[in-house]
Amino acid sequence: MNRIVLGAMIALALAGLGAFWWQGRAQIERGAPPPVPAEPVVAEPEVPASDPGDMVGPAPPEASELTKEQRRFFRYDRNRDWRITRTEMLSSRTDAFRKLDVDGNNLLDFEEW
């Protein structure tokens, strides 16, 4: 109980000191000289908003047309060498294998399966 009361009193004292410090900073800021005026900003020409006229934007990018089988193949072929190695094929299954491998020996026993 004494620790709680002591902690509350210390917290109030620190909050009071913080308030006095904050007020002292505010008085210092009020006495500071005004900031130097910045250079005048040059207005940029306005861009037409509703009538673009003859302005033409860049052409949109074209996506390569991959078949469904090619997309499925490239999901496994990470380095795009047109060959799927064993590690690439099994890379999507490692998280599930780690969850099943309870004892961490990189082998699944019948009990773990």
Q: How many angstroms separate the CA atoms of 19 and 26, rounded?
A: 11
Tens digit of each residue's pLDDT (9 = 90 or more) over 34-54: 778 877 777 776 665 666 667
pTM for this prediction: 0.32
Task: Return the pLDDT at 104.
Answer: 79
Helix (H) and strand (E) counts in the chain = 4, 0
Class of residue 84 by CB neighbours under 10 A (exposed 0-12, middle 13-18, buried 19+): middle
CA distance 14 to 7: 11
Element (H, E) at 25: helix 2-30
pLDDT in the model for residue 9 = 94
pLDDT tens digits for range 16-36: 888 877 776 656 666 667 778
